[in-house]
Structure 1
Amino acid sequence: MKMVLTVTFVGYIDDEVPGKQVAVGSGEFEDLKCGLVLKSIGYKSLPIEGLPFDKYRGVVPNLRGRIFSSESETAKVEPGLYVVGWLKRGPTGIVATNLHCAEETVASILEDDKKGVLRASSDLKRPGRRGLLEILEQKNTRYVSFDDWEKIDAKEKTAGQLNNKPREKITTWDELLKVANEG
C-alpha cells in the first residue's frame, strides 16, 4: 500500500486577539512518502484544585517548571511544587518538546535540591507521594507502581525481541495488571 502525506506549512497568527495563536495555512504543500501517519490534536488543560491556573492559556503559572503561588505579578515560587507538559506550557509541541520540557523541570528540581530549597515531605502542608497513595487507596483505585511498571517494561521488551521489534505493547489494562502482579 502506497501512502503519501501532504504536509501543509502553517503559521500562528490571530490579529483580533493579541497573544492568541491559531493555525493559518501558508499555501505551501509538500508530499512525503510514508508508511504511517499519526494525528494528534491539542487540548486545553483544566485547573487543578489548590493550584493557580491561567484560564486563558490553560497552564499553571510557572518559571522553568517551578509553580507560582498565584497568577499575580507579585507571585512567588512555591517551594517543592513543579509542573511539566501541556499544563506547564500549553497544548504545543511534539514528543521531543515534552522531553525538553521535562528536562527543564528536572533541572529546576535538581537546582532547588542542591540549594537546600526542598524539604522533607513531613515538613510540608502537602503530603506529596504519600498523600497521593492514600487518596488512591481510599478511592480503591487500581494503579501501577514504578516497580510494577519495570515488570511491564521487561515483558514488553522480551515479547518484542521475539518479533524483532524494540517492544510488543501490552494494550489492555487487565493484561498490564496481570503482568504487574506477577512474581
Structure 2
Amino acid sequence: RSHCAVDSGKQVAIGTGEFEDIDCGLVLKSIGYKSVPVDGLPFDPHKGIVPNIRGRVLRSMSDDHFVPEEGLYVCGWLKRGPTGIIATNLYCAEETVASIIEDLAQEPLTPTSSHAKQGREGLLQLLDSRNVRVLPFSAWEKMDSEEKRRGSMKQKPREKLSCWDELLKVGSE
C-alpha cells in the first residue's frame, strides 16, 4: 500500500510497508520512467520531454528561440514527462489532436519529401528498401498458437518465442 504526500510542490507516492498478496495469472506493470531521446527530435534531457506547445514539436532555432515543426506532434510522457494517470494521457492526447485539427484547418499538411509514396505500396517499398521482412497475419497466428501450446505445457498462458530465427521458422511452417 502507499499514501500520497507532497514533496517540493509535487505529489509523490510513499510506500507504507504494508503488502497484500493477490492470486492471479498475469500481472502487468506500468510505472512512469523518464523518456529517452528519439533520433531526429529535439529533446530536453532535464525534463525528459520533446519540447512542445500543446503537442506541436518545437525545433530549436537558437538557444532561446523555438518554432513549431510543421506536421510533427507529440503526446503522452514524451510530451509532458512521466506523470499522471490514464485520464491524464487522454487529456494530453485530446490536446494534441486539437492542435492537429487547428493546423489542418489553417493549411493542409504537405509531404515532407517530393519522393514520398502514398499508401500501402509506399510503405512496402520503404520496408523493402530497409530489408525489413514482412510476414502475413497467418504467420503471426502460427507463432501465437505455438506460444500458447508451449505455455500450456508449463501451466502458463503462453511461453514467448524469444529468438527471431525460431519465430520466423514457426511462422513459415
TM-score, normalising length: structure 1: 0.55
Counterpart among 35, 52, 62 of residue 52 in structure 2: 62
Aligned residue in 1 for 2:97? 106
Shift of 1:110: 0.4
Supply the distance in 2 between the matched residues of 1:52 and 1:109 (Cα, whole angstroms).
Answer: 19
Aligned length: 143
Name the aligned partner's letter for residue 4 of structure 2: V
Q: Determine whether 1:82 maps to 2:76.
A: no
Corresponding residue number in structure 1 for 2:148? none
Q: Distance in 2 between matches of 1:59 and 1:65?
A: 11
Counterparts of 1:34-183 in structure 2, within 5 Å, are: 39-70=29-60, 72-116=63-107, 118-121=108-111, 124-125=112-113, 135-141=126-132
Amino acid at match of 2:86: V
Pick closer, same or farther for the CA change 1:41–1:26 going to 2, 3 Å. closer
Shift of 1:128: 7.6
- Say if 2:4 and 2:11, in contact at 8 Å, map to a contact too: no
Distance in 2 between residues matched to 1:43 and 1:101, nearest whole Å: 17
After superposition, give the CA deviation of every residue in 1:66-119 in whole Å (9 maximum; x if it has no partner): 010128432111121111111111112232222221111111000000111x43
1:11–1:136: structure 2 CA closer, same or farther, 3 Å change rule?
A: farther
* Per-residue deviation, 1:140: 3.4
Q: Which runs of 5+ in 1 are unaligned?
A: 1-6, 153-170, 179-183
8 Å CA contact retained: 1:11, 1:26? no
TM score, norm. by length of structure 2 = 0.58
Q: Could you tell me how far 1:138 is from its partner in structure 2?
A: 2.8
Preserved contact between residue 2 and residue 13 of structure 2 (Cα < 8 Å): no
| Cα distance, 1:38 vs structure 2 | 5.0
Flag the 1:54–1:10 CA change in 2: closer, same or farther, 3 A: same
Question: Could you tell me how far apart the structure 2 residues matched to 1:129 and 1:43 are?
Answer: 36
Residue 5 (structure 2) aligns with: 11
Structure 2 distance, partners of 1:143, 1:12, is: 50
State percent identity of aligned pairs.
Answer: 46
* Alignment gaps of 5+ in structure 2: 142-159, 162-166
Instruction: Give a deviation string over 1:126-176, Cα, whole Å, max 9, x none.
Output: 9788687655333333579xxx8xxx9xxxxxxxxxxxxxxxxxx98x7xx
Amino acid at match of 1:82: Y
What value does the CA root-mean-square deviation take over the aligned residues? 4.4
Please report how far the alpha carbon of residue 52 of structure 1 lies from its aligned counterpart in structure 2 after TM superposition: 0.9
- DSSP-derived class of the 1:69 partner: strand
Q: Secondary structure at the match of 1:25?
A: strand
